[in-house]
Chains A and B, each alone.
Chain A
Amino acid sequence: MSIEWIILYIVWLVTLGSLFFVPKDRRKEASISFLFLQFLGWFLGLLVVELKWIEYPIRELAHVNRSSFTFEFLVFPAISMFFNLYYPSNRRLLTKIYYISLFTTGIIIPEIIFEKYTDLIKYIHWEWYYSWISVFFTLWIVRGFFSWFYKESISTQ
């Protein structure tokens, strides 16, 4: 088995396993950020592949999809879930930006390593900082949506 497939299996196992760490009383909230990120990820993931900015030479469901199903369907949504659960909502703006940057960097570092050393992802007309910026803003949008969704919930009670 190639290194790429080993990585994919590990990523699936670890991400699915991480779902058990969502606190029981916060599963509802977590599911909403998971689904919302899928909503963004499905579209954006297809777009960057269609425009030939990025390719994923080794991927699952290869003959159906050229985008990264693992990342867009599972990994990024799962990360966004934890991102929202521990978001420092009562802290000042700088702390929030630092928090979003930290998550973004945590996603981009493995991506850069995979790009360099494996066939999981290849940048065509793309740079690592495009990824950084797009992930940063995606997380920001998810946060905006999430706080709107749950603020409204509080007001209905």
Chain B
Amino acid sequence: MSIEVVTTCLIWIILPLMLIIFVPKKRIRESIAVFLFFHFLTWLFSIGLTYFGLLEAPFREFPYATKINFSMEYMVFPTIAVFFQLLFPKRKIYRIIHYILTVTFILFIMGVIGYFTEIMDVTKESLTRSALNFTVELWLCRKYITWLMDSEYTKKNKVESI
């Protein structure tokens, strides 16, 4: 079995398990909303970037149907966004650090996957672009989630807008 197949299988085993284990019961609804919204963003961004030749995925789960790597966009990035939301700090100063750390983590994951597998083609250029894209995506996701969650829920779970 190739490293790409192993990685993809691991993604689909580990990440759902992590979500099941680490998402607190009272924040399930919020986490699902984050997952779904982020998934909408990654779909739009990945299809756009691939269209303009800025993103390439040599190994794909649906090689005939799409040029996008499905697992990364459908599972990996939305899961990271869920943890970004769950760990979002209350104090403003930490929030900026939180954004920086999350984006750095995403770039690290992309770098590792790009280096060791054919799941994504990662270059310095694409990492720079991703840093910007993911900051915007995470910010949009926060905007959406703070708008979506009713005030009662927001108060209870300390969800605040940046």
Chain A interface residues toward B at CB < 8 A: 28, 31-32, 35-36, 38-39, 42-43, 46-47, 49-50, 52, 61, 63-67, 69, 73, 149, 152-153, 156-157
Of residues 109 through 162 on chain B, the ones whose CB sits less than 8 Å from some CB of chain A are 144, 147-148, 150, 152-153, 156
Q: Is the CB–CB distance between A69 and B40 below 8 Å?
A: no
Would you give the shortest CB distance from B32 to chain A, in whole angstroms?
7
- Size range of the interface on B? 20 to 34
A sample of 23 inter-chain contacts (CB < 8 A) reads A28-B148, A28-B150, A32-B33, A32-B148, A35-B33, A35-B37, A46-B66, A47-B65, A49-B62, A49-B65, A50-B62, A61-B47, A65-B47, A65-B68, A66-B64, A66-B66, A149-B29, A149-B32, A152-B28, A152-B29, A153-B150, A157-B150, A157-B152
* A28: contacting residue among B63, B65, B147, B152, CB under 8 A: B147
Chain B interface residues toward A at CB < 8 A: 26, 28-29, 32-33, 36-37, 39-40, 43-44, 47, 50-51, 62-68, 70, 74, 144, 147-148, 150, 152-153, 156
Would you give the shortest CB distance from A23 to chain B, in whole angstroms?
16
CB contacts (< 8 Å) of A50 on chain B: these are 62-65
Contact flag A46-B62 (CB < 8 Å), given A64-B51, A65-B47: yes
CB contacts (< 8 Å) of A157 on chain B: these are 150, 152-153
A37 to chain B: closest residue by CB: B36
* B36: contacting residue among A35, A49, A73, CB under 8 A: A35
CB contacts (< 8 Å) of A52 on chain B: these are 64
* A32: contacting residue among B36, B44, B51, CB under 8 A: B36
Alpha-carbon distance A43/B152, docked complex (angstroms): 34
Is chain A's interface secondary structure helix, strand, loop, or mixed overall?
helix
CB contacts (< 8 Å) of A42 on chain B: these are 39, 43, 74
Alpha-carbon distance A42/B147, docked complex (angstroms): 25
B39 to chain A: closest residue by CB: A39
B150 to chain A: closest residue by CB: A153
